[in-house]
Amino acid sequence: MNENRDPQTSGQVVEWAVVESDIGPLLLAATGHGLVNVVFHADAATRDAAVERLAARFGGMPVEAPASPRLAEPIRQLAAYFAGELRTFTLDLDWTLISGFNREVLRELARGVPYGSVVGYGDLAARVGQPGAAQAVGAAMGANPLPVVVPCHRVVESDGGIGGFGGGLETKRHLLALEGVLPAPLF
């Protein structure tokens, strides 16, 4: 994954589209620096709220652009992921929406927890030099602006529990089953 450093947000155009996936509609948003946001369950109300948050953060109304070249590769790679054909995303990412400890944790997650594996909250905290910060890692997962691509679904409880998930536990189970970590549901 290519990681861009602190791009300027003033005057940036954000383009977005809603795409269907195995876990429901996803809103994808990108800037000239890369994919900046993935939003689960992108029904009309969720989509409108996400677009408003992006407008407030970037200082201009995002543009719906499903045919945008900025979104073509994220759309292609997500489709390949859900088809079981892609294990590693190679997208340019715009990290504008996350900073500090949360950004550090998410970058470590993206780099160090590959497809088909999981890590505990405490283990991930230790990887970034903060062994007592398991709860803070949980907060970072909840603040992840790039779920699926930055795989917060791969972070689980140390006692074997699945843990929480901003996209809902059914979505987390589906993603972990897709990656072979959990058995696929029977129905």
Q: Which residues are catalytic?
A: 152
CA distance 140 to 138: 5
CA distance 2 to 177: 26
Strand 119-120, strand 155-156: pairing: parallel
Measuring CA to CA, how many Å separate 102 from each of 73, 77, 83, 94, 138?
25, 24, 30, 14, 10
E strands, 9-135, are: 15-19, 26-31, 34-39, 63-64, 92-93, 119-120
Which position has the token pair 């405490």? Answer: 122
| Nearest by Cα to 16 from 3, 8, 53 | 53
Which DSSP letter does residue 185 get? P
